[in-house]
Amino acid sequence: MRSTFYDEDHEAFRESVREFTARNIAPNLATWEAEGLTDPDLYRQMGEAGMVGLAIPEQYGGMGIDDYRFRMIISEELSKVGAASVNATFGVHDDIVLSYLIDLGTPEQLATWLPPMAAGTSIGAIGMTEPDAGSDLQGIRTNAVRSGDGWVLNGSKTFITNGFHADKVLVFARTDPEAGSRGFTLFLVENGMEGFERGRKLDKLGLHSQDTAELFFRDVQVPDANVVGEVGMGLISMMERLPRERLSIAGGALSSAEAAYTWGRDYVFQRKAFGGLVGDLPTVRFTLAELETELDVTRAYIERSILALNEGHLTTADASKAKWWATELEQRVITKSLQLHGGYGFMEEYPIARAFRDSRVQTIYGGTTEIMKEIIARDIAKRAKK
């Protein structure tokens, strides 16, 4: 079916991203996976290529492009070469951390923080999850107490994407235990702040070349200049930006699923069995028909959601629908594509094997599938009771 979702400018951008990915990422993936860390210089190279911080205003070194279709193109091209770890890094840096800073930052903060983040020489992380608090953010224990012209921050975070190499961490902390939902504040903690320490780099099932770490804050002195947004508005600021975060995960899941489907489809029409091509066997043909249909239908919803985000009216419930459906679809497509590869799908030399591991976290982080369904159900009940 013909699509008008992307125009000529988008496709020209895609060509540059595809060329960069083929030259600088695809040949290095196996090495980075073995070493357990993507070369940090890649992000500087991506910055020079105009692939980092697309939404950062031009006066701060960015492209000033507030059109999520360009970010989706990067996700698609990274998925095609199996670079899920790089995709995860930029999902956090570009779609989450930068959205807070651009929307909530003061002119002084933007002038200080954004230029190196646009250049890829400074990578961001967000500190929400704690050992005893994940989806229930109001259960966090990390706290900040007023002290002079700043704050003293104490607590810990875990499962932090980019946590090991990020030099800016947006930390969600409790600042007033008696204020309910208005008792939380966002702070930007930077490398070099005394008392800010990184724990171990966590050993994960997948995404081996994308670092995930524990973070510790022991009497960290955070100046007022590093408060992001208004004091007490941290939880509300997070709720307002969850649609973008969840759409980022959904878009990555769709891109990953489409790539996996393509690998499986191409493989079965190259492989022979029983005197013919595997792709001509009835069961295989039906599998391909099912997967392609589900992907096409899902893409229609994701594209509609991206346009809604661009226009400023993507709701939390609608983004939650995209997130749970696309990530669960990703699991099904990758599993079936691996099956289509037969024994070779179990071999590390085939990208489908790595995708099988890398995709598993998608239904968990950013809010589990169960949490997404609860959000949608509450929205349904709210509308029905009006």
Given 130, 245, 258, 303, which residue is catalytic? 245
48 Cβ partners below 8 Å, 6+ apart?
A: 119, 120
Cα–Cα distance measured from residue 31 to residue 125, given in angstroms and rounded to the nearest whole number: 24
Cα–Cα distance measured from residue 86 to residue 120, given in angstroms and rounded to the nearest whole number: 13
384 Cβ partners below 8 Å, 6+ apart?
A: none
Torsion sign over Cα 338, 340, 343, 347: negative
Cα–Cα distance measured from residue 369 to residue 260, given in angstroms and rounded to the nearest whole number: 21
**Token pair of 357 as six digits:** 């591991």
Burial class of residue 55 in the structure, from the number of CB atoms within 10 Å of its CB (0-12 exposed, 13-18 middle, 19+ buried): buried
| Contact yes or no for 296/340 (Cβ under 8 A) | no
In the block, which residue shows the tokens 């959601």?
305
72 Cβ partners below 8 Å, 6+ apart?
A: 251, 255, 306
Name residue 95's amino acid.
Answer: D
Residue 118's Cα: distance from chain center in Å? 17
Cα–Cα distance measured from residue 83 to residue 59, given in angstroms and rounded to the nearest whole number: 31
Cα–Cα distance measured from residue 321 to residue 374, given in angstroms and rounded to the nearest whole number: 10
245 is catalytic: yes
Cα–Cα distance measured from residue 119 to residue 65, given in angstroms and rounded to the nearest whole number: 15
Per-residue b/e over 88-107, b at no fewer than 16 CB within 10 Å? Answer: bbbbbbbbbbbbbbbebbee
Cα–Cα distance measured from residue 299 to residue 110, given in angstroms and rounded to the nearest whole number: 34
Q: What is the dihedral of CA 312, 229, 190, 160, to 10 degrees?
A: -50
**Token pair of 139 as six digits:** 């259960």
Q: Which residues are marked as active site?
A: 245
